[in-house]
Amino acid sequence: MLIKKKTTISKSDNLIILANRKSTLSTFGLSKKELDYINNTTKKKKELVSINQYDRHIFVLVPKQEKNANKHAEKCRMLGDQLAKKLKDMSSALIIDVKESQTEVMQIAEGIALSNYTFTKHKTKKRPNKLTTIYLCKKSDQKAITELQNIIDAVYFTRDLINEPFSHLKAKDLAKAAILSAEKYGFKTTVLDKKKIESLKMGGLLAVNQGSIDDPTFTIMEWEPKNKKNNQPIVLIGKGIVYDTGGLSLKPTANSMDLMKIDMGGAGTVIGAMQAIAANNLPYHIIGLAPATDNRPSGNAYAPGDVITMHDGTTVEVLNTDAEGRLILADALSFAKKYKPKLVIDLATLTGSAVATIGHYGIVSMHEGAELEHRKLKEAGDYTHERLAEMPFWSDYDELIKSDIADIKNLGGPYAGAITAGKFLAHFTDYPFIHMDLSAVYSKNKYGYRGKGATGTGVRLLYQFIKNKL
């Protein structure tokens, strides 16, 4: 999807006119009958009016101003989603700002672009939307257009990764995707192979990988611009379980494995965020870590009751091999200490408990030593509509992960599953830490401009947070 600036209007252009009720529209080739129709329709508080002139379409947007700026931004994106449905059989459209509101124009364009995404890679008869280009009027700021284009590209990239089936995306393929993105956008990437992972004694990642015929990877991404504003880096860590059977604790319910390709959603989000940050040259030192493997049962698979030793020397009693994401993340969290980070954020499709708590509408979060940073992250989430639902992180929950035979166990019990998973991760940190359980990374049903399937949730949120960080 391309977003471009256009300085002229042709008679064949499909037009999207952002207006208010006082706007003069007679200069756009509309007949008196059409103008009367628009006027009468908007009087009924309808915010989108469509005119079919056969050789072109004209859409008039008259969005009612919401008192809350974030709600209004989301309204504009959702109007973009409505427009995308109407534009799917057209190749392009031009947004004209009669209302003199460039912010709204960008938000509408964002909604159209995000809604227009399709994943047709594996279809023999590909039927993607015909819409390829959204043009913005000459008043639009080119820097803002470029920024939005880079963000959209990053979200598309992340959606592609998450939608990709396991047959086409092993751990090595996820690492390769990070390398290709880095080569194009200018951040550094190092991929640690199994031998190096073994030398680092990453017992969590190695244990989860034991049942697989494919080697694990540990991808390190780094963006360090010369004009960086932070002396200590911000570290982003993404769970990269490219497919999860549950291991020997095999997922028991019907249709519980058909979507387990999405269990690398955290890693995909981190790679996408790194791409957006580098593409737009944000002046912050950012490091991304993506431990990756699949979790499969075999004669060599790790088993319930095992005790494993993690990267930092902590011993863990494994009560359930389907609580594997926290094991690979724990190694990455302790590895992150070497960077002396200002803040670490991990992102993971970690628990069914998070999904049960808030559905696919947001992100379950918790933090330790990061009150201010979490507040800023929540503000970024409110703006992007990738909202955070903060869970309590009381010390009482620490008792639930204590083990009788090891330092800690990887399962907390039947209650507060998302929180005890977060507590397990916090054990491996000694820095300000935020945990994000990505329940919104995938939707089985169409959800506005996020669409059906991979949503790319988290990329825009992280970008906005980093952009506004200091």
CATH number at residue 348: 3.40.630.10
Total number of domains in the chain: 2
The per-residue pLDDT string of the chain (470 residues; one tens digit each, 9 = 90 and over) reads 999 999 999 999 999 999 988 888 989 999 999 999 999 999 998 999 999 999 999 999 999 999 999 999 999 999 999 999 999 999 999 999 998 889 999 999 999 999 999 999 999 987 778 999 999 998 889 999 999 999 999 999 999 999 999 999 999 999 999 999 999 999 999 999 999 999 999 999 999 999 999 999 999 999 999 999 999 999 999 999 999 999 999 998 788 899 999 999 999 999 999 999 999 999 999 999 999 999 999 999 999 999 999 999 999 999 999 999 999 999 999 999 999 999 999 999 999 999 999 999 999 999 999 999 999 999 999 999 999 999 999 999 999 999 999 999 999 999 999 999 999 999 999 999 999 999 899 999 999 999 999 999 999 999 999 999 75
Is 102 among the domain residues?
yes
- Judge if 124 and 272 occupy the same domain: no
* Element (DSSP H or E) covering residue 146: helix 142-163
Do both 160 and 75 map to the same domain? no
Last residue of a domain, one of 91, 110, 137: 137
Query: How far is residue 137's CA from residue 267's CA, in Å, rounded to a whole number?
Result: 37
Residue 379 lies inside a defined structural domain of this protein: yes
Same domain, residue pair 298 and 416:
yes
Q: Are 125 and 173 within one domain?
A: no
76 and 218 both lie in a single domain: no
Q: What is the CATH number of the domain that holds 120?
A: 3.40.220.10
Single out the residue of 346, 209, 344, 380 nearest to residue 265, CA to CA: 346
Contact by Cβ (8 Å): 284, 229: yes
- Domain-located, residue 308: yes
* In a domain? residue 96: yes
> With contact defined as beta carbons under 8 Å apart, do 387 and 362 qualify?
yes
Specify burial of residue 356 (Cβ count, 10 A radius: 0-12, 13-18, 19+): exposed
pTM across the whole model: 0.97
Q: Contact, 158 vs 459, CB < 8 A?
A: yes
Q: Which helix (H) or strand (E) holds 34?
A: helix 32-43
Residue 234 lies in a domain: yes
Print the domain residue range for 383: 153-467
In a domain, 148, yes or no: no
296, two tokens: 């499969």
Question: Are 359 and 463 members of one domain?
Answer: yes
The verdict on 289 and 374 lying in the same domain is yes
Domain boundary among 91, 108, 137: 137
Contact 75, 48 (CB under 8 A): no
DSSP string of 175-244, one letter each residue: HHHHHHHHHHHT-EEEEE-HHHHHHTT-HHHHHHHTT-SS--EEEEEEE--TT---SS-EEEEE-EEEEE
The pLDDT value recorded for residue 112 is 98
Give the closest residue to 85 by CA, choosing from 444, 454, 449, 442: 449
CB atoms within 10 A of CB 463: 26
In a domain, 218, yes or no: yes
Pairwise CA distance, residues 464 & 240, whole Å: 23
Q: What is the pLDDT of residue 470?
A: 56
Same-domain pairing of 112 and 160: no
Is the same domain home to 78 and 166?
no
Q: Are residues 14 and 111 in the same domain?
A: yes
For 120, counting Cβ atoms within 10 Å of its Cβ (0-12 exposed, 13-18 middle, 19+ buried), the class is exposed
110 and 167 in a single domain? The answer is no
Euclidean distance between CA atoms 313 and 337, whole angstroms: 14
Query: Does residue 369 share a domain with residue 342?
Result: yes
Spatial distance between the Cα atoms of 449 and 155, rounded to a whole number of angstroms: 12
Q: Which residues are catalytic?
A: 251, 326
Q: b/e string for 185-219 if b means 16 or more Cβ within 10 A?
A: bebebebbebeebeebebbbbbbbbbbbebebbbb
Say how many residues make up the chain.
470
- Residue 160 is assigned to a structural domain of this protein: yes
What percentage of the chain's residues is helix, strand, coil (to nearest 5)?
Answer: 40, 20, 40
**SS3 category, 302:** coil
Between CA 291 and CA 218 the distance in angstroms is 4
The last residue of one of the domains, among 137, 169, 192, is 137
* Contacts with 374 (C-beta within 8 Å, 6 or more apart), sequence order: 365, 367, 388, 390, 434
